[in-house]
Structure 1
Amino acid sequence: MQTTPARSPTDRWRFHRAVWRWHFYAGLFVLPFIAWLAVTGAAYLYQKPIDRWIHHDLKVVQPAHGMPTSASAQIAAVEAVAAGRTFRYTLPERVDGSVEIGVQQADGARDVYYVDPGTARVLGSLPDKGTFSGVVRRLHSLDLIGSWASALIEIAAGWAILLVITGVLLWWPRGQRGGVSSVRGRPAQRLFWRDLHAVTGVWVGAVLLFLALTGMPWSLLWGKQVNVWANGHDVGYPAGVRVDVPMSDQRLADTTATSWSMEQARLPTSHVAPAQHAAPPQQQAHEGHEGHGGRVSGDLAPQPGAIGIDAALERFNGIGMAPGYSVALPRGPMGVYSASVYPERVSLQRVVHMDQYSGRILLDMDYADYGALGRGLEWGINVHLGQQYGTVNRLLLLMACAAIFLLCVSGAVMWWKRRPAGGIGSPPLPHAKRTVAIVFALLCIGGILFPLMGLSLLVIGVLDFILTRGWRSS
């Protein structure tokens, strides 16, 4: 009877070596990004209290005794000192908070003025998104280095997903006693950092995977295309935007900060009566077809016959808008008042559009109106931001950010201790080059789901194939 020869130890570990090689490449590329995102993300978790502390003179006021001043008086006070028109009015969430009034200048630049609602005194201004939290968010998204930075975020998030998957495969117990749930050795030894990296990674890997996936909606290609697809198939933004109401060609994201699911939502149009707006004949002819994509101008000047911001706020308060909501002011004679609020609990998200002349509610949409994909992604985004479950959500993510940073540091130290002189220290290839090809092909499945990451994976795979003369081990 013929017996099958026992496989050599090298043969048994060939799959491990191939996975290790791609895990190394993933870490080499993505660890600096992950460490950066962990640090900036931890700071963003506590944006509101930090903003109140840093910008205390702008954001905190003495609670008003008696009736506060009107919104129109506050806007008039701002426009008396600002070179532009008001485009957004935001009420405070707390009784000791200031009103925030967004002003757009003639060249398109935007500033936010802070006003004491009790006295209508202008406290000062900052550039739009110029608060501490605004800067941290731009740092977190790498937006400060250009619009193409979202492509780097998408690539890094895709590689982070591969990093978690390959890391779990490398951690999986194969009879060893250490490095599974305990750390061996001392800090001077590479073994200590290897075990620390493995144990930390397996505990925080699920959170890292979740954060990478829920961060994808902001990415350049994947996020944009999924948003367009979801909103085109009734699984993204509310079906309410497709009711038989005259719609403009303006998007909600053009007027105010909005949720991911609402970025493609078009604004309805106000009904323009002839007595309210005497337009040239050509413009009147176009407005007669406003239900088929009517145009909203960028004119922020108050329109004759409009109810005004004070009456609009009274109506929005009357329908129960949550505290801290913003109102985007109408643009041109066909524009609408758009109130939006995005509290910590995703179920309280709400967007309401109002006719600027009659005060009639044209559309009233909330989280329950989103499609299935929209609800799922919005919930994930809210958890990602540390908002959905309040203090518990923030504390868990803060600990996760610290663990992710430790994961990056331990990986870097482990590599530094094993790197050879004059090389990057790539893990050795298995003797069977077919094993490397199989692992590479499996990873390419993820590249299909996330195209930018897939393109970078293909580039690295081709370079590795060429430099190793066809994945031949030395």
Structure 2
Amino acid sequence: MPASEPAAAVRAVVPLSRWAVLRRLHFYAGIFIGPFLFIAALTGLAYTLTPQLDRIAYGHELYVDQITESKVPLADQVDAARAAHPTGTLTTVSVLDDPHATTRIAFSTPELAADEKVDTVYVDPYTGQVRGTLTTWYGSTPTTTWLDSFHRTLNLGDLGRNYSELAASWLWVVALGGVVLWLGRKRKYRGERGRALVPDLQAKGVRRTRGWHASVGLWITAGLLVLSATGLTWSQHAGAHFSTVLDAMKGHAPALDAGLTSGHHGTGTAPTGEGLPAGVSLEQVIRAAGPMSGRTDITVPADASTAYVVAQDDGVWPVGFDQVAVDPRSGEVTERVEYADWPFLAKLTKIGIRAHMGELFGIVNQVLLAALALGLLCVIVWGYRMWWQRRPRRATARLGAPPARGGWRALPVWFLAIAVPVTIAVGWALPLLGLSLLAFVVFDLLAGAFRWALRTPGPRPVD
């Protein structure tokens, strides 16, 4: 054998070992993380329908029957809401730029405050009549709140948040890993290069299933990466690390100072929580803040040293999240924070979250999210079907075996020197990914040791 042949053989083995490691990782992630991804996709699909569900379930509270030329003053609407809800502290008055929408007036109670919820009274702005009361969470109706919590936590509290974070942590790994494996396979078989984006409808059995699994996965990869990244930004563990990075890069949205200086203190009656403070009307407060699209939330001053906070909440492109502090006595603007002045990372985070929630592009955003969820559900089912189809045809092995192990042994030192620190860094940034990956490695080593022990012959009997 020529001297160059062993070197060539080694060079051929190294790429194969990388593929083997990637296939085994993709296999383990699909088998063990697949159920979490399936639940996240299924609950996310349900959440995309919340605007329509709200209109069906709470149309009477959310919308008026008839639009007229004039509206009842906001102070009178607050009085009507207080009469219908005599307990609790008045916190927020919300008006929408939709002429069909009711005014939402929120009252906080100690029982609800622990869950960050309020009682919201819905008032017809044209008649001043109360149309109903709902317990809401950051403006969300009970149905939307329940589906949101089910998607994030399975309604299990902080413990349940680990499921969605685990799914989001692995989503980008399995998506990118699958793309690399599929494109690598198409590159290997030159005649199939043009079929990467479409399944081979002539194929049978596992090849047909793999074609659908990979082709649909390729189409939805970009969307899955967005969902993974945006989902992790407000997760429990990875989200805390992300917030630390934003602190270091000064990427948080600037906070509005609603405190009144001595020069702005008046002599009017201090707020009591029963109603509005003495001074300018809410209409004057809104005019002082300037025109705002979407929903405008007016936070009532908690005491005599606090201003009204007028906050824009418009999650539809082009978005707007301006905030303005207005003196309740004089109607002067004491501070303004405009969305246009936010740091780039803060803007990107806000836009990403609203896209994840299906708001950014309205009904188009909902349809795209629903398509992504359905696509992911199908890809997961096809993945498990491949596992079943690859099972050996004998009674002793009812499930498909994982790809061959031991590929990492052929990896070059320089590759491991890069891969190991990068993996540790990613594991620190995404703790649940790091811990579950470590669990996979331990499981794989134990499984290998167990199989080796079964295959090792025992000592021969002594004659």
1:175 maps to 2:188: yes
Relative to structure 1, the CA distance from residue 169 to residue 224 in structure 2 (aligned partners, 3 Å threshold; closer, same or farther) is same
Deviation at residue 229 of structure 1 after TM alignment: 4.3
AA matched with 2:88: G
Q: How many angstroms apart in 2 are the aligned matches of 1:103 and 1:143?
A: 27
Instruction: Give the aligned partner of residue 252 of structure 1.
Output: none
Deviation at residue 163 of structure 1 after TM alignment: 0.8
Instruction: Give the aligned partner of residue 327 of structure 1.
Output: 298
Deviation at residue 308 of structure 1 after TM alignment: 5.0
Q: TM-score, normalised by structure 2?
A: 0.81
Residues 271 and 357, structure 1, Cα contact 8 Å, conserved in 2: no
Deviation at residue 320 of structure 1 after TM alignment: 0.9
Residues 200 and 403, structure 1, Cα contact 8 Å, conserved in 2: yes
User: Which of 456-465 and 228-237 deviates more?
Assistant: 228-237
Paired residues for 1:336-415 under 5 Å: 336-343=307-314, 344-415=316-387
Deviation at residue 197 of structure 1 after TM alignment: 0.8
Relative to structure 1, the CA distance from residue 106 to residue 310 in structure 2 (aligned partners, 3 Å threshold; closer, same or farther) is farther
1:202 maps to which of 212, 218, 221: 218
Identity %: 24
1:102 maps to which of 89, 92, 106: 106
Residues 18 and 435, structure 1, Cα contact 8 Å, conserved in 2: no
Deviation at residue 196 of structure 1 after TM alignment: 1.0
Residues 89 and 107, structure 2, Cα contact 8 Å, conserved in 1: yes
Residues 269 and 335, structure 1, Cα contact 8 Å, conserved in 2: yes
2:18 maps to which of 5, 10, 15: 15
Deviations 1:410-440 (A, max 9, x none): 1122223335646684332146635499497
Q: How many angstroms apart in 1 are the aligned matches of 2:150 and 2:75?
A: 35
Q: How many angstroms apart in 2 are the aligned matches of 1:363 and 1:187?
A: 66
Secondary structure of the 1:402 match is: helix
Deviation at residue 371 of structure 1 after TM alignment: 0.8
Deviation at residue 384 of structure 1 after TM alignment: 2.7
Deviation at residue 339 of structure 1 after TM alignment: 1.7
Q: How many angstroms apart in 2 are the aligned matches of 1:93 and 1:304?
A: 25
Relative to structure 1, the CA distance from residue 151 to residue 299 in structure 2 (aligned partners, 3 Å threshold; closer, same or farther) is farther
Q: How many angstroms apart in 1 are the aligned matches of 2:410 and 2:14?
A: 12
Q: How many angstroms apart in 2 are the aligned matches of 1:160 and 1:274?
A: 55
Deviations 1:186-207 (A, max 9, x none): 7972222111111111221121
Instruction: Give the aligned partner of residue 135 of structure 2.
Output: 127
1:446 maps to which of 419, 422, 426: 426
Q: How many angstroms apart in 2 are the aligned matches of 1:341 and 1:471?
A: 62
Q: How many angstroms apart in 1 are the aligned matches of 2:324 and 2:450?
A: 60
Instruction: Give the aligned partner of residue 416 of structure 1.
Output: 388
More helix by share: 2
Instruction: Give the aligned partner of residue 3 of structure 2.
Output: 2
Residues 444 and 457, structure 1, Cα contact 8 Å, conserved in 2: no
1:34 maps to which of 31, 34, 37: 37
Deviations 1:29-56 (A, max 9, x none): 3322333333333443453343223211
Relative to structure 1, the CA distance from residue 331 to residue 472 in structure 2 (aligned partners, 3 Å threshold; closer, same or farther) is farther
User: Which of 228-237 and 348-357 deviates more?
Assistant: 228-237
Gap regions ≥5 residues in structure 2: 456-463
Relative to structure 1, the CA distance from residue 412 to residue 305 in structure 2 (aligned partners, 3 Å threshold; closer, same or farther) is same
1:60 maps to 2:63: yes
Residues 13 and 410, structure 2, Cα contact 8 Å, conserved in 1: no
Secondary structure of the 1:456 match is: helix
Q: How many angstroms apart in 2 are the aligned matches of 1:329 and 1:174?
A: 63
User: Which of 204-213 and 337-346 deviates more?
Assistant: 337-346
Instruction: Give the aligned partner of residue 312 of structure 1.
Output: 285
Secondary structure of the 2:449 match is: coil
Relative to structure 1, the CA distance from residue 108 to residue 12 in structure 2 (aligned partners, 3 Å threshold; closer, same or farther) is closer
Residues 346 and 382, structure 1, Cα contact 8 Å, conserved in 2: no
AA matched with 1:450: L
Q: How many angstroms apart in 1 are the aligned matches of 2:251 and 2:371?
A: 33
Count of aligned pairs: 427
Deviations 1:227-277 (A, max 9, x none): 354246432213xxxxxxxxxxxxxxxxxxxxxxxxxx3642134648457
Larger Rg: 2
Residues 92 and 105, structure 2, Cα contact 8 Å, conserved in 1: yes
Residues 74 and 115, structure 1, Cα contact 8 Å, conserved in 2: yes
Q: How many angstroms apart in 1 are the aligned matches of 2:406 and 2:187?
A: 18
AA matched with 2:347: R
Relative to structure 1, the CA distance from residue 452 to residue 7 in structure 2 (aligned partners, 3 Å threshold; closer, same or farther) is same
Instruction: Give the aligned partner of residue 427 of structure 1.
Output: 403
Secondary structure of the 1:141 match is: helix
Deviation at residue 77 of structure 1 after TM alignment: 1.6
Deviations 1:372-428 (A, max 9, x none): 211222232233333334444443333222222211121122223335646684332
Q: How many angstroms apart in 2 are the aligned matches of 1:431 and 1:106?
A: 59
Instruction: Give the aligned partner of residue 165 of structure 1.
Output: 176
Instruction: Give the aligned partner of residue 255 of structure 1.
Output: none
Instruction: Give the aligned partner of residue 455 of structure 1.
Output: 435
Q: How many angstroms apart in 1 are the aligned matches of 2:248 and 2:281?
A: 34
Deviation at residue 22 of structure 1 after TM alignment: 0.7
AA matched with 1:385: M
